[in-house]
Amino acid sequence: MHQEIDLVKVHNEALVPGSVLARNLVMLASYIKELQVQSHLIHLNYEGSNFIEMHKFLKKRYEKHLCQFDELGEFVRAMDFMMPLCACGLKEALGPDCFRNVESHDGREMLLTYHQNLCDLCELVCCIEPMATEIKALDVANYMAELMADANKAAWFIKASLRCS
């Protein structure tokens, strides 16, 4: 990953069961929100020979990320934890340098950055899923598998599209 994302660790404080998982889900939701904004902005700025296909694909992606953000937030609230109240709170939950930002209006570069962020999302999910399984939050563990499948499929689509251009 761009920079190693530290998952929330258990400190020497007495924690409510599931709080570490809930805090990591807040971080994951923050990451997904960044993906939603990034895919939406690429959708608006993308230019290339495959414009129509990418425009449609990215619209579906940012809509999907919004649903994923909502689903993760609902898991957090079901654990009786709060979500941040603003974008600043989300960025704080994510931490600095944990998300790759697009630095060029070049269509290929935008897609490569988004692709790498999707791959990094899979790494995050692989770290969080065992926590959910360990505390028997099987609904969350199953959703982690759904997130992984979705991110892998989207990454494959981008990779295949870039090979053709």
State pTM to two decimals. 0.89
Q: How many domains does the chain have?
A: 1
Residue 23 lies in a domain: yes
Q: What is the pLDDT of residues 74-97, one digit of tens each?
A: 999 999 999 999 999 999 999 888
Please list, in sequence order, all residues whose beta carbon lies within 8 angstroms of the beta carbon of residue 50, skipping any fewer than 6 positions away: 161, 164, 165
Is residue 116 within 8 A of residue 35, CB to CB? The reply is no
pLDDT of residue 137: 93
Residue 12 lies in a domain: no
- The DSSP secondary structure of 26-76, one letter per residue, reads HHHHHHHHHHHHHHHHHHHH--STTHHHHHHHHHHHHHHHHHHHHHHHHHH
Residue 3 lies in a domain: no
| Residue ranges making up the domain that contains 101 | 19-164
Which value, to the nearest 10 degrees, does the dihedral of the CA atoms of residues 108, 110, 112, 115 take? -130
What CATH number does residue 154 fall under? 1.20.1260.10
Residue 49 lies in a domain: yes
Residue 142 lies in a domain: yes
Residue 4 lies in a domain: no
Q: What is the pLDDT of residues 126-153, one digit of tens each?
A: 999 999 999 999 999 999 999 999 999 9
Residue 69 lies in a domain: yes
Residue 29 lies in a domain: yes
Please give the average per-residue pLDDT across 13-29, as a whole number.
Answer: 79
